[in-house]
Structure 1
Amino acid sequence: MKSILVAFSVLVLVISPAWAAPVKVASLSTILTDVAREVGGDKVTVTGLVKPGVDPHDFQPSPADLKKIAEADLVLASGLGMEGYLSKLETSSGGKAKWIEVGNRLKLPPLKLAHEEEGAGHDHHDGESEQDPHWFHSIANVSQAVTVVEKALSELSPADKAYFAKRAGDYQVRLEALAKWAKLQVASLPRDQRKLVTSHDAFQYLAHEFGFTIYSIAGISSQDQPSSKKIADLIKTVKAQKVKAIFFETTENPKVIAEITRETGAKVGGELCADGLGTGDSGTYEGMVRHNITTIVNALK
């Protein structure tokens, strides 16, 4: 009888990792929803609370969302101020989840925001300091984020550490290939044509990585409203810089873009994913990058 019990105990120890429930992840970022699924595979259950096309700056969690957060083992957020509601949400949600603001854990390059460029940008008071929370427009930054997510999942499920590491490594290889593809596409544009006018100041990391100059209509948040003076100044800048195209975003009203194109003769370059993933072909991070780069390059040629 004793030998049977010992054998049974050994069997349980051997197979128990396979019986372990998947790590429950709740994500407040469409980018991180995709990253968590790529890294976690079938060892995680990922719930994306912010859906594609929803403005994460202004997300309002529903009672069902709060329930998912309370049940989660891990909650992922972009951080760096993207989710202005985050502190209040964490306090009120309860549960046992580990919360990670991924952007806060990355080594990010220093940026010069569009409103710091002469003649461009939004109203900004002396002494204010902002950091662009759209870190995911740098493929290198997302590769760092993959490592952050991998480590978090490994801490929650140590038995699956090797599994997460393998999937993270494979994904980072794909991201390296994506970066090479993107740089090759952008290289077809002369440097004096690498000028982007966008709805709000969301593409500074893309500009840093690929050598663009950004002129934005509004500020860091899509909730910032441009003044009439700002729009007039930007129209002058577009004319002076001979900007070929102006881009709108999946979460934005393109009316202001239409006004600027009428006044300047610049064309509408197309729709970019600014605050997160889109739908269809842009519904994954790799797809979003390919969509944005292809749209930009085709419009500025």
Structure 2
Amino acid sequence: MSHRYRILALTAAATALIPLAACGEADAKADAAGTTGLTVVATTPEVADFARAVGGDHITLTQLIKVGVDPHEYEPTPADIKAISDAELVVENGVGLEEWLAPTISSAGFRGPVVDSSRGVALRPDDPHIWHNPQNARLMVGNIEKGLAAADPAHAADYAKNSAAYTAEIDELDRENQAAFDALPAADRKLVTDHDAFGYYVDRYRLQFVGSVIPSMDTSAELSAQQLTDLVAKIEATGVKAIFTESSLPPKTAEAIAEQAGVRVIGGEDALFGDSLGAPGTPEGSYLGAERHNTQVITAALAGR
């Protein structure tokens, strides 16, 4: 079923989540007033983390896509429609990652502002994984700060202060990443991943992208037999040391290719965070922690450790 028709079907179900006393607009606003601060809905774990860092105690945040869930295949729920209906601000990644969002917003009857956090980012063709370049993350945080300040001018100074402090942490992450790759011989900076989610990361740190197990940025694509054979040949020819699996994707195909090519598979606790973050409450449950994890795992494996 397409996103559009599924969302239309869910709209009726979503109404069951709305108390009868809250059916009118005035009652909905009254419900929202019972929450603490600006009511914000963020789509992905990454933009939710950015919004949390900038908004602090001045916002009440609902994150739609939970950690470990593939955003490319996400289907909105009745609870999502209800959350958007009650929101004062919606924050999205943009670049087409959330194709389901516009019809969901329409079904929810939301008329408030939507912050596209990708504004100003220099885009790769059809690649929504912009956060993997920390310089893009800086822009995303700045866009979110502007959106929060416009929706809640009374706390604009606090949003600016939080944004500046968080941006400094992103800059430190970027320096750490660069130093880690600078310590590797250029000939070892070769990457094979589950799917093509790390283009911005590869460009930022001047890596060689050899290929991916899923030959697309869309996780629903599959390798043909010829593509599989070609990828194994490229791995062997380029001297790639490992295939990196991702936390939100099954590792079976990557393991099969690695066995044929005679290289290591990096997975389990060392799986990369390509489309998601780690579990809440863990270091990898934040953007900064997940990106540090990725760099530490990649550089260690490429160094033969």
Which interval holds the TM-score relative to the shorter structure? 0.7 to 0.9
Look up the match of 1:163: 158
1:106 aligns with 2:102: no
1:295 aligns with 2:290: no
- Tell me if the contact between 2:248 and 2:276 (Cα under 8 Å) persists in the aligned partners: no
* Runs of 4+ deviating beyond 6 Å: none
Look up the match of 1:217: 213
1:232 aligns with 2:234: no
1:32 aligns with 2:32: no
- Tell me if the contact between 1:197 and 1:245 (Cα under 8 Å) persists in the aligned partners: yes
From 93, 99, 102, the equivalent of 1:87 is 102
Q: Distance in 2 between matches of 1:64 and 1:240?
A: 49
Look up the match of 2:196: 201
Q: 1:23-69, CA deviations, whole angstroms, 9 ceiling, x for partnerless residues?
A: 11111110011000100010111111111101111112221121111
- Between 1:147-156 and 1:271-280, the stretch displaced more is 271-280
Q: 1:58-106, CA deviations, whole angstroms, 9 ceiling, x for partnerless residues?
A: 1122211211111011111111111121222222121333222322x12
Consecutive unaligned residues of structure 2, counting only runs of 5 or more, are: 1-33
Q: Distance in 2 between matches of 1:295 and 1:268?
A: 12
Q: Distance in 1 between matches of 2:299 and 2:70?
A: 25
1:284 aligns with 2:280: no
Q: Distance in 2 between matches of 1:200 and 1:193?
A: 20
2:213 alignment partner AA: I
Consecutive unaligned residues of structure 1, counting only runs of 5 or more, are: 1-18, 112-129
- Tell me if the contact between 1:27 and 1:33 (Cα under 8 Å) persists in the aligned partners: yes
- Tell me if the contact between 2:36 and 2:60 (Cα under 8 Å) persists in the aligned partners: no
Q: Distance in 2 between matches of 1:298 and 1:261?
A: 18
- Tell me if the contact between 1:249 and 1:274 (Cα under 8 Å) persists in the aligned partners: yes
1:58 aligns with 2:54: no
Give the secondary-structure state (helix, strand or coil) at the position aligned to 2:195.
coil
1:146 aligns with 2:146: no
**How far is 1:20 from its partner?**
10
Look up the match of 1:268: 265
- Tell me if the contact between 1:235 and 1:263 (Cα under 8 Å) persists in the aligned partners: yes
- Tell me if the contact between 1:150 and 1:168 (Cα under 8 Å) persists in the aligned partners: yes
What TM-score results when the alignment is normalised by the length of structure 1? 0.84
Q: Distance in 1 between matches of 2:50 and 2:121?
A: 18
**How far is 1:195 from its partner?**
0.8
**How far is 1:276 from its partner?**
2.1
Q: Distance in 2 between matches of 1:232 and 1:50?
A: 35
Q: Distance in 2 between matches of 1:39 and 1:290?
A: 20
Look up the match of 1:3: none
Give the secondary-structure state (helix, strand or coil) at the position aligned to 2:245.
strand
Look up the match of 2:131: 136
2:37 alignment partner AA: P
- Tell me if the contact between 2:76 and 2:100 (Cα under 8 Å) persists in the aligned partners: no
**Number of aligned residues:** 263
- Tell me if the contact between 1:217 and 1:230 (Cα under 8 Å) persists in the aligned partners: no
Report the CA distance shift for 1:73/1:212 in structure 2 as closer, same or farther (over 3 A).
same
- Tell me if the contact between 1:71 and 1:97 (Cα under 8 Å) persists in the aligned partners: no
- Tell me if the contact between 1:246 and 1:261 (Cα under 8 Å) persists in the aligned partners: yes
